[in-house]
Every structure is written in structure tokens, then in C-alpha cells.
Structure 1
Amino acid sequence: MFDDFVVVLDAPLRSAAGEDLLAAVRAHAPDKEIRYAVFGHHHPHYSGGLRPLIHAGATIVTTAGNVPLIEDLARRPYALAPDALAREPRAPKFLVVDGKHVFSDASGRALELHDIGAYTEHTDSYLVYYFPRERLLIEGRPGLLPCHGRGAARAAGGAGARASDRRSQPRRGEDRPDLAARRPGAGRRTSAAGCDPRRRSAVTSVCT
């Protein structure tokens, strides 16, 4: 929360959750504009509730690769259970983060967004949130950050480094759990561009 506006960090699951989030923010800060909505990455527990924020006029803050996915999310008809955006369609507005973006105000409060996608084993783009004055880092999936500098090597070395990383990861039964054994596709590094619309949930309209 800043002097005259609010930045919402993540909108999970579905439109109903997004409506509850919007109502909570308005109750807590009735005199402040909900100006921006940021989401960490394209999976639905971070982005599935964005539709009410789009309808409310918040600018969606994300990386370039996620823009087509959110445009598609905003266009979904939601015919079975119309939400505010279905009843009153509007196109989303975007602020695209290229590596880093900072929000601040005159009070000295700042919020830094950092794209660490090149260093994770989860998604191609991944925003984390850092409040420098409070020395507070918010990040949703720390278990998917590689150890011992392998992420830095992959970021510098491209596909060859990524393949080497995969071979060097602990196997099942070692110090890292086998995420892929939990459900099909779990633990696989994904991108919004790789989402097949036929696999999107009718509720969230984003790739799981």
C-alpha cells in the first residue's frame, strides 16, 4: 500500500476469490485506488483471480510472455457463472516488467519486482517481490530454486546449461523430493506460451 494507491500481489484460483480479494482491499483502504495487480507467474494459484481486478481497472503487471495468456483470460465468456467482467467486458491494461520494476512514493516506501525466471526450475518468467525498507522478500515457491549456483550457470549458458542442470539434480530418495511423482507435469519448468488452451480449466482459464 502506497500513499495514494494500492498494488495487489497475486490473485489466486478463480473469479470468486478475486472478488473477495477486491472487497478486502477496498474495506481496508477505501480511499486508495487499486492501481496495479501483479502476479508471480502464470499458474492459476497466482493468476486465476485476476478477472475482477481487470474489471476494476487495475493495470496488470507481468512479463511479456504472460500478456497473451491474460488477454485470453479476460476474453473468456464465463457463460455458466458470469462474473463482473463477463457482464461488462473490458480489455486488460498491462505494465510489462523487463527484468526489474520499482514502485515507490514520497514516503520512502518502495516495492521492487524482480524476474528470476532464468534462475528457477518452475517457469520461464517468475516475479518475486522485495520491500527494501522492510527487508522483506515475498516468493511463493522457494523449493524450486536451484542450489549451489546452478541457476546462474543456466542463466548464462542457455539450453546446454539447463540440460546439465537436470542431470545434476538430486534423484528420488535424495535430499530433494521427486515432484514429478506427485502428479503428471508437476515440477516441470513451464511457460505461459506453452499452455494448451484445451487443457485450461473452465473456471480459471489458465494452464495448470
Structure 2
Amino acid sequence: MKKYLLIISAFMYMVNISAQKLIYQNYYKADSLLKVVTKNYIVNDQLIYSGFTYSMGHYSFPEQQISYPIIYSLSSLNKKFILDKELIYNGKAYNSTMVFIGDSCSYNDFGEKEIKKVSLNGNEFSYFYLPINVVNIIKENRSSLHFINVDDEYYSLGFNNLLGNKFYITVDKNTQLISKITQLKYDDLYGDTYQEILYANYKNNIPYDITVNHNQIVKAAFHLDSVGVKKPSIKVDSISNDISKETISKGLFIIKLNDYNNKILVTEHEDFLAIYEAPINVAVGNEIISFLQKHFNNKPIKYCFLSHHHPDHAGAISSFVNVNAKVVTTKGNVNYFDKLSKSIHTLKGEGFHPSKYNANYIIIDSLSEKTFFKKSSTSVIVYESGATTDHTNEFLYFYFPKQKILFVGDLVIFPKEKIRDQKKRALSVYTLIKSKKLKVEKIYTGWPLKDQKEFGTITDLKNSLLKSYPDLK
């Protein structure tokens, strides 16, 4: 027995030595390649780029982007890296500055005057707009450097920064210059994804074209205009998940997501539930499901009605596809919702994997209407009229004829304190009520929640429109 134990011990020792040798070999190989790359980069006082930044917000169709002209000034001063941005919006210039000093970061957003310290975590990717900064961070965290792979044109290295975040660089074998840096990241909407910076069109070892991609979508693209010296635009030294339920009618409930400033509507049927809106992301969606299971005796959610595609109304669609709920939406959202419902979320929280179910859609055609649950006390008529909203190309309204309640997502607001003048979005609600001759006593919304009335009336709606539409009847 002793003999066998000695043999096993000797074998394990050799395996350990072999593993250590592989680690050393990998590191030295990566380090030798880094030394070659390092020689190709020098510090420039300032590089000025111009191009466009792309905003993807609450626009007319899924993943629509709007571009804004922007100038980037990248400066290195006394071990400080300063990123000045000048954004042109409606013909007016707005400035923003980020300052990186060692392991600290200071920042002011567009339009703000004072620069404040912020967490480096989550902002460090902007530091890598200059590839020499990538090299410097690798050198400061050399023990994390490792070789990944090589092909005919490129080789790849990986490293961690001081926060422990992992990055990967791709180096062109011919030029020995960095062509790309990538970071695996988590996005509340897209799940497990990555962000990357592409460096191209090098001249004198300076990248003349830089592209920043988030979630495989272009976030910014800019071209080098000049190399020079310029003072920074700002003085750098100044540097529960509470959910509640309210009954609004028999079998009809408003669920308030107090931490998220959102609401959803729920109808209870004999052996299932239907929800109206699925806001924010899968984490919030899972919270909603747990809450509903607790308060409605584990009744299954069989229907998920979505007014439109914006994340604060449909970002949690994956959670409800995961429980095999039928999704009531419009044709233009299907591909986008398929993309979201198949996203994997493991880099944040408890993790989420798409289920075996494919999204089961019920499509409401443009300018059409469809009645659901006709025999139920909470029957609903769904109207599509996105073209009138000036908000999204497609939009669904939900009318409960027996309760005389209309649920309209975020097309109108009803502040507690005073009437707020409103325009086309609210007008579309008024037009629907009048054109369809709906008997409406209460208008509920899915957003916002804070400082709002519980519901609005047709009188409230009309009064909010009279300033913009004085001839309204």
C-alpha cells in the first residue's frame, strides 16, 4: 500500500511541476510579445479626433440609433490621462471631461460644470481609447498577462486590470500594433455580451480611426484630425426592490415597482394571470414573477401584453418567455424580442439561461384591434395605433370595457401637483378614446410612478392638451 501511495504522490508532484512550467512558459511567451508591442508606442501630448457618437434610446423602432457630432481630445499630462469630449446637440456645444490618475477617475457629464470623483469600475474602458494606455495597464498588471492563441495574421493576449476585470487584445503580427481590445461584460438588456475598441489605419504608430462597439452595435466612431498640445477644457483639480399590489377593480391590479419608477397591470382569471408590461430586465422580471406567485397562489402567467419595445416596458420579456407566457405584441418587435429572449445572463446576479420555450407571439396588426378573454370579467380590447403616438412606430393600448379603464404605457402623465401641458403622445390617447367612442373613467399608465396621481381622467387628459390644441373638442 505504501508503495502505491508513494507512486501516486510522485505522480501528483510531477503533474504540479508540469502545470507550473506551463504557466511560466505561457507568461514568458506573452511578456516577450508585449515587449515588442511596447516599443511601437510613444506618448503624444494630445490627439484630437472628430466623428460621431450614437445614441440608442426611446426611439421609433428597436435598436434605432441617432448620431451626434463629437470631438474627442485625448491628452497625457504629468501621468494624467484626460479625455475631453465636445458634443454638438441642436447646434449647441456641450462638454464633458474624464480624468484618470492612477487608480482614480473623475468625471463631469455634458452640461455639468463641476468634476466629481466616480468609480473607476465601469469607466475604465474609456481609458483605452488610446492603445498606449492599454500597454501601460498591462505593464502595471503584468502578473495577469497570458498568451491565448495565434493564427496567420494575429495573436491574442489576455490580462486583468487592478480591479480584476479581464480584457483581451488582438495584435497584428505584421505591424506588431494592437488592432482590438475586448471586454466581456454584462448588459441588463442583452445579457452576456462584450464591448470592444477597434484601432485602424495606423500612421506613425497612431491609430487614425477608432471605433467603439457595445453589444455588437457601434457606439462611437472617430478619425484623427491633429496631434498637438492643448490645455484641458476644465480644471482637473476640482476634481428595495420594493414591490406592492393595489386592487383597482375586481380581478384587476396595479403592481408598483417602487425602486424602478414603473408599474404593471395584472388581470386575474380563473386559472391563470395576464400581465401588461414587462419592464427593465430579467432580474426585475424574475422578481415580478416571484411576487405574483406569492400573491396569486402560484397561478401561471399565460399572457404577457407589451405596449411597445422600450426596455422600461419590455426589457424583462425573457423572464415571461421563460415561463411560456404568450407574448402579445406587434410585428416590428418580433426579431428584437427573439434576440432578447435568447440572451444568456450569467455575468451578473444569480444568472439566467433561456428555457426550452420559443417565444409564442400573438401579433396585433397595424391599426387593428383584438378582444381577449371575452367571457371574463376582465376582458380587454387591444388597439394598435403607433403611427399616431410620435413615440414608436407601433404601440398597443389596452381597454377594459367592463371597468371603463384604459392602460396606455407611457403616452401620458398625470402629475399630482399641477397640470402639465402635453402634446402628440397624449393627443394619441385622446384621439383613440374619441375615434373608438370608448367610455373611459380612469386612465392608468405604466410609467412614471413617482409624484403621479393614481390615475387620470378624460378631463385631466383634455386639460393637459388645451394649450397645444385649443380647438380640441
TM class by smaller structure: 0.5 to 0.7
1:4-59 deviations in whole A, cap 9, x for unaligned? 22111001111111011111221222253311101110100000011111111101
CA distance in 1, matches of 2:285, 2:301: 13
User: 1:90: Cα distance to partner?
Assistant: 3.3
Contact 2:411 2:426 in 1 (8 A): no
Question: Who is 1:38 aligned against?
Answer: 305
For residues 11 and 126 of structure 1, the distance between their equivalents in structure 2, rounded to whole angstroms, comes to 15
Give the counterpart letter for 1:101 in structure 2. Answer: K
CA deviations over 1:169-204 (Å, ceiling 9, x no partner): xxxxxx67xxxxxxxxxxxxxxxxxxxxxxxxxxxx
Contact 1:36 1:61 in 2 (8 A): yes
Q: Tell me the equivalent position of 1:111.
A: 380
Find the aligned partners of 1:136 and 1:78 in 2 and give their Cα distance.
36
The answer for unaligned runs of 5 or more in structure 2 is 1-267, 413-421, 433-466, 469-473
What TM-score, normalized to structure 2? 0.30
Question: For the residues of structure 1 that align with 2:354 and 2:311, how far apart are their CA atoms?
Answer: 22
In 2, the alpha carbon distance for the partners of 1:9 and 1:115 equals 15
Partner of 2:330: 63
Q: Does the CA contact (< 8 Å) of 1:40 and 1:128 recur in 2?
A: yes
Q: Contact 1:5–1:34 (CA<8 Å) still a contact in 2? A: yes
Q: What amino acid maps onto 1:145 in structure 2? A: R
Greater displacement, 27-36 / 66-75 = 27-36
Which of 141, 150, 172 aligns to 2:411? It is: 141
In the superposition, relative to structure 1, how do residues 54 and 147 fare at CA in structure 2: closer, same or farther (>3 Å)? Answer: closer
Q: Offset at 1:138?
A: 0.8
Tell me how large the CA RMSD over aligned residues is: 2.7
Report the Cα distance in structure 1 between the residues aligned to 2:428 and 2:374, rounded to whole angstroms.
Answer: 36
SS at match of 1:90: coil
Question: Do the aligned residues in 1 keep the contact of 2:279 with 2:315 (CA within 8 Å)?
Answer: yes
Segment drifting more, 65-74 vs 88-97: 88-97
Report SS of the residue matched to 1:145: helix
Q: Within 5 Å, give how 1:1-208 maps onto structure 2.
A: 1-30=268-297, 32-81=299-348, 85-86=352-353, 88-98=355-365, 99-139=368-408, 140-142=410-412, 143=422, 144-145=424-425, 147=427
Q: Which residue of 1 aligns with 2:73?
A: none
| SS of the residue 1:122 aligns to | coil
Output the CA distance in 2 between the equivalents of 1:148 and 1:110.
Answer: 23
8 Å CA contact retained: 1:110, 1:133: yes
Displacement after TM superposition at 1:148 (Å): 9.5
Q: Retained in 1: the 8 A contact 2:292–2:298?
A: no
| Pair member with larger Rg | 2
Q: Distance in 2 between matches of 1:34 and 1:148?
A: 30
- Give the secondary-structure state (helix, strand or coil) at the position aligned to 2:353: helix
Between Structure 1 and Structure 2, which shows a larger proportion of strand residues? 2
**Is the 8 Å Cα contact of residues 2 and 105 (structure 1) preserved in structure 2?**
no
Q: Which structure has greater helix proportion? A: 1
Identity %: 24
More displaced, 125-134 or 31-40? 31-40
Instruction: Give 2:300's aligned amino acid.
Output: E
Change (3 A) 1:83 1:132: farther
Distance 1:22 1:109, change over 3 A: same
Matched to 1:28, the amino acid is H
Aligned residues: 154
Does the 8 Å CA contact 2:398/2:407 hold for their aligned counterparts?
yes
Structure 1 residues 103 and 65: CA distance shift in structure 2, 3 A: same
Instruction: Name which of structure 1's ranges 116-125 and 31-40 shifts more when overlaid on structure 2.
Output: 31-40
8 Å contact from structure 2 (residues 326, 362) kept in 1: yes
Query: Are the aligned partners of 2:321 and 2:341 in contact in 1 as well (CA < 8 Å)?
Result: yes
Shift of 1:106: 3.3
The SS at the match of 1:109 is coil
Aligned partner letter, 2:375:
A
